[in-house]
Structures are given as C-alpha cells and as structure tokens.
Structure 1
C-alpha cells in the first residue's frame, strides 16, 4: 500500500470507532461531527477494501479485518504520540469521554456507587457504559473485541498473552454462614458437622462444582447440594430463612444487608481467598481518559482489601 495515500486522521477515526462502536460516540471522543465520522469511515472502507464495521443491534460490529488491524494500529498511534511528545492531556473536569466498563456482580455492587460519586465530583461530563461479566473468561473476549475498555472481576483462566494487562484490586476470604438460631451455629463448625448439613452453592456460571467441592474431592468427600443459584446477593437472605449453610465471600455477606441475621464461621477447609483484578487491552494502555479511570478504580480496590488480607 502507498503510504502517501494514508491520512493519519483516518487511523485516529478507526481507533475511535473500534473503541466506541458508534459513529456518534467516536466523533465525541475525538472532537468530530457525525457526518465527518461517517465520511471518514467511507474513506477507510475504500482504503482498506473492507466494510470494517457493520451495523448490529447494539452498535457497530467490527469485521475480522478490523479486529486484525485494531491492535497494531493502536500501538502505532501510541508510538507516534510518544515520539512527537504530543500525548493528549486529560482534564477530567472538562472531559466528555465515553468509557465502557465490564464488571462482575460483587465488585459492581461494592465499587460502582463510589465510582459514580467520584465521577460526578471529578469528571461530570464523562459517560460510563457498564456491561455485566457473568463468566470470568468473557472478559478477555470483550476486551479483544473492544466491547469494553476496562474489565473488573476474578482473573480469567487464560492470561490473554501480552495483549491483556492486569492489576490486582482486592481479595475476598470465604466464610460459612448459618441463620443465627440454627442448632449448628451454636458450636464450632468441624468437617463432620459441615458435611451433615444441606448446602447452598452460588455459581454465576451455572457449575455445580465449586471451590468447596474441589477441596472436598481431594479428600474423597462430597457434600449435599440442596440449592444452586447464580445470584450471590440472594444467598444470605435465603440462608437466613432456611436450614441451609452457604460458603460465601465475606464481603458479600457484609454488603447484603442480612449479616445481622446470620452467624459467620470459619470454613473447616483450606479455601484460598478470591482475587479480583482490573484488566484492559494493551492497545488502550496509554489512552488518557482510560488511564485516569483505571487509577480511580484502583484506588477503590485498595480501599476494599481488608476483606481478604
């Protein structure tokens, strides 16, 4: 391809479209009108010889060719900015950046109210689009596709190679919970008493084999699962109104509003604390607005570390 035909502004427009998946939001991101962005997309399609973005129910869907181009072009733009010393300065007080955040249930419950308070105070013009991360490995696919800019949840089982970056936020230890007047709540919980009870398992991904079951299986043991449900914040209330026992993250119990009706006991098994991390794609590492927001999220994570350390 003849490089003389390439307008650097087209690459900036492509990067914005890849991130925002909307002509309007991409234009806001880089300070262009919607007609100008539509014209840039038409020129990009002619230059690359590919549709690049197709309309879908929830915004623009990148083609495989666009996905292949996204990371190397983002890295090239970042290198150009660094070489010219013209990296954009982000002023949260005046920014109108739109950022997509993928977050799982528990950190969303703990962090989103405080994050929104911070944005309202420091960055009132910033728009935050929140998407649910139900399964831990969805995060990498969403970051790769640009569906989200930042993901918060338990670490994915795959690292994402060098293209996905991670930062630890906080850890949650496990506790066993019973209703306060449960007969088993009146004495220390040993393994025999634990196995004699009917259990509730929280499994957002629909599995019927959690960390407790894995720890028991290593001893050749099994527990009686009476109830499996995907919503962790429903579990404390259900335990408070039943004879069930549940092994939950301590932060879930404390934030549920039902801790006063429950007894929390140490599990009779060695269960490692659950880590929660923030992840983002390397192509967005130097984006000023995202870098600022990641700093705010990291500060909230630091404030929540006391549940696991």
Structure 2
C-alpha cells in the first residue's frame, strides 16, 4: 500500500488511542470504558478507522474482536507513536543536571557577564559538566527582548522589565554608583563637593555614545554642568583610564572592584544622589515552565552577588 496516497484527514490522535484500546481489550464496550468513551462513540471511532485505513481491522470471533493482519501490522508503530506523543507533551520535572547534555544561550551586557560568568561556569562544572554556554551581547533592553522573542537567547540579564506581558523577570542584583579619581591627584580632592566635582574633567561611559547621563541630569538640577573629557562605550576601560590621568568618573561600584584598579583610585560616594542600577533576569513566558530552563534561572540567581 502506498502510505502517501492514504487519506489521513479523518485520522486524529483520539482515533489512534481508540485503536490501541481495541487492540488491548478486543471488545468495543471494554475499550470504550478504558478510554472514557461511550460504546456508540467507540463504534463510530472504529468506523472512521476502517475508512481511513481501508481495512476492516477487527472482525468478530468466538473470543471477541480479532485483529486483522493489517491491524497487527499497525499495532506496534501506533503504540510507539502514542508513547512518543505522550513523552513530548508531558511536562517533565526530573531534569538531571549531572546527566544533561545541552547548550544554553545567555544574553549579557558587559557588567553582568563579568559578574555572573565566573561563578556560573564554576557551578556548571561541578553540577552539570555536560552543559555548555553561548553568550550573546546586547546594548539596550529592546535588543534583549528581541533575542528572547526570536528564541536566540534562553535568558537575558538587563534593567528592570517593561510592560511586555510575554517577558517575565526576577530581580538579580543591584549596583550603586561611586565616583573615582586617581589616588593622590588634585582631582581626588573634588569628589566630596558637587560644584568642584562638576568643574573636573569627566569620563562618561555610554554604550550608545550619548553625551548626557544620569550624573548630568542630577547636576543640572543644581544648576551645574560638567565637562566631558572622554566618552567611551566600554565601562571596564574607565577605571584604568582614570588611574593614569586627572580625569574623574562615576561608575558602578562593581565595575571599580572588578577592574582591579581600586588600589590606585580614590573611591567616594557620588556627590550627587543617583539611584542604584537594578539588574533583572529576563526570560520569555513560553519557557517559564521548562524544567531545564527553570534550573538554569535558579543557578543564575544563586551565582549573583548578594547584598
């Protein structure tokens, strides 16, 4: 028989379930009871199966229904198909990290990558040696959302969530701002006074290349304006730049610490009030209940700095 010529339009999954029950019970009423159908509904299902396959499938015998040769040929592959569908549809909660062989893709900007990847890689080596990572960079939140929407990233770490109901979020860590200058330099003397701070030459970190940031906004509320000596997109370059010049910078405290330049710098609270940066773990609603994805998110949370 040419299976490609068969008409499968009337053969839905419920008919395969009915066929499997009939093979097990060899009796219409018992098969119907087995899968929660009425006897007429099971009889109708058998009629549809006969039409779809072009075979009688079951004939009456002294011990109930007897499967035809065609039915016997179909029994094993259709039972296997039901098993495959059942496994695919089942939400498994037995993800075993130690046995897993999977690749996760994380969308991370520069600072979260610096903070999270070392402890995350260490935790993966211990708990899930078969798990690998792929990292994608991004510069703004809209790009992170696009990566999640298109399935190009499993999770992203970024600023607080927006209004998209499909993007879920969980707080991860926060960073406060500090102002820095080269230790012992004249610029270090200005960090405690807003006016003197504004008069210094500043480094501004701006991935988008903008020449106006949160510090400028806070200074403008006091009628002050700063001079930007250097605008650059790489935040981890800023501490080293400040350590060898008379420039000042306002950076996330974790960037100063992580750069290794802190011993060469004077570090002070910013002389103008700035809200801390909140980093959130973001993921798409479609992966919310996936066991492997949930495990990855928990591991990221445990890898984040506390406090």
TM-score, normalised by the number of residues in structure 2: 0.69
- What's the counterpart of residue 148 of structure 1? 153
Residue 288 (structure 1) shift = 1.2
Residue 91 (structure 1) shift = 0.1
Asked if 1:105 corresponds to 2:105, the answer is no
Residue 173 (structure 1) shift = 0.5
Taking the aligned partners of 1:298 and 1:107, their CA distance within structure 2 comes to 12
Asked if 1:195 corresponds to 2:198, the answer is yes
1:291-306 to 2 correspondences below 5 Å: 291-301=294-304, 304-306=305-307
Taking the aligned partners of 1:96 and 1:103, their CA distance within structure 2 comes to 22
Taking the aligned partners of 2:200 and 2:210, their CA distance within structure 1 comes to 20
- What's the counterpart of residue 177 of structure 1? 180
Asked if 1:91 corresponds to 2:96, the answer is yes
Q: 1:247 aligns to what SS in structure 2?
A: strand
Residue 283 (structure 1) shift = 0.1
Aligned pair in 2 of structure 1 residues 132, 6: CA closer, same or farther (>3 Å)? farther
Aligned pair in 2 of structure 1 residues 87, 196: CA closer, same or farther (>3 Å)? same
Taking the aligned partners of 1:199 and 1:214, their CA distance within structure 2 comes to 14
Taking the aligned partners of 2:238 and 2:95, their CA distance within structure 1 comes to 42
Taking the aligned partners of 1:6 and 1:104, their CA distance within structure 2 comes to 45
Residue 201 (structure 1) shift = 0.2
Taking the aligned partners of 1:6 and 1:199, their CA distance within structure 2 comes to 68
- What's the counterpart of residue 249 of structure 1? 252
* Residues 179 and 191, structure 2, Cα contact 8 Å, conserved in 1: no
Q: Which has the larger radius of gyration?
A: 2
Q: How many aligned residue pairs are there?
A: 229
* Residues 187 and 247, structure 2, Cα contact 8 Å, conserved in 1: no
Aligned pair in 2 of structure 1 residues 121, 211: CA closer, same or farther (>3 Å)? same
Gaps of 5+ in 2: 1-8, 15-84
- What's the counterpart of residue 213 of structure 1? 216
Aligned pair in 2 of structure 1 residues 296, 225: CA closer, same or farther (>3 Å)? same
Taking the aligned partners of 2:181 and 2:296, their CA distance within structure 1 comes to 39
Aligned pair in 2 of structure 1 residues 125, 209: CA closer, same or farther (>3 Å)? same
Q: 1:264 aligns to what SS in structure 2?
A: strand
Taking the aligned partners of 1:300 and 1:130, their CA distance within structure 2 comes to 16
Q: 1:89 aligns to what SS in structure 2?
A: coil
Query: In the alignment, which of 284, 300, 307 is matched to residue 281 of structure 1?
Result: 284
Alpha carbon RMSD of aligned pairs, Å? 2.4
* Residues 97 and 128, structure 2, Cα contact 8 Å, conserved in 1: yes
- What's the counterpart of residue 38 of structure 1? none
1:1-309 to 2 correspondences below 5 Å: 4=11, 86-155=91-160, 158-159=162-163, 161-186=164-189, 189-301=192-304, 304-306=305-307
Residue 85 (structure 1) shift = 6.2
- What's the counterpart of residue 39 of structure 2? none
Taking the aligned partners of 1:282 and 1:292, their CA distance within structure 2 comes to 15
For residues 194-236 of structure 1, the C-alpha deviation after alignment (integer angstroms, 9 at most, x for no partner) is 0110000001122211111122233343210110000000000
Q: 2:141 aligns to what SS in structure 1?
A: coil
* Residues 191 and 271, structure 2, Cα contact 8 Å, conserved in 1: no
Residue 126 (structure 1) shift = 1.1
Residue 3 (structure 1) shift = 8.6
For residues 66-124 of structure 1, the C-alpha deviation after alignment (integer angstroms, 9 at most, x for no partner) is xxxxxxxxxxxxxx989x86524200000112211111110110110110111111111
* Residues 195 and 224, structure 2, Cα contact 8 Å, conserved in 1: no
The runs of at least 4 consecutive aligned structure 1 residues that moved more than 4 Å come to 2-7
Taking the aligned partners of 1:123 and 1:188, their CA distance within structure 2 comes to 46
* Residues 151 and 278, structure 1, Cα contact 8 Å, conserved in 2: yes
Q: 1:200 aligns to what SS in structure 2?
A: strand
Whose relative contact order is higher, 1 or 2, with alpha carbons under 8 Å and at least 6 apart?
1
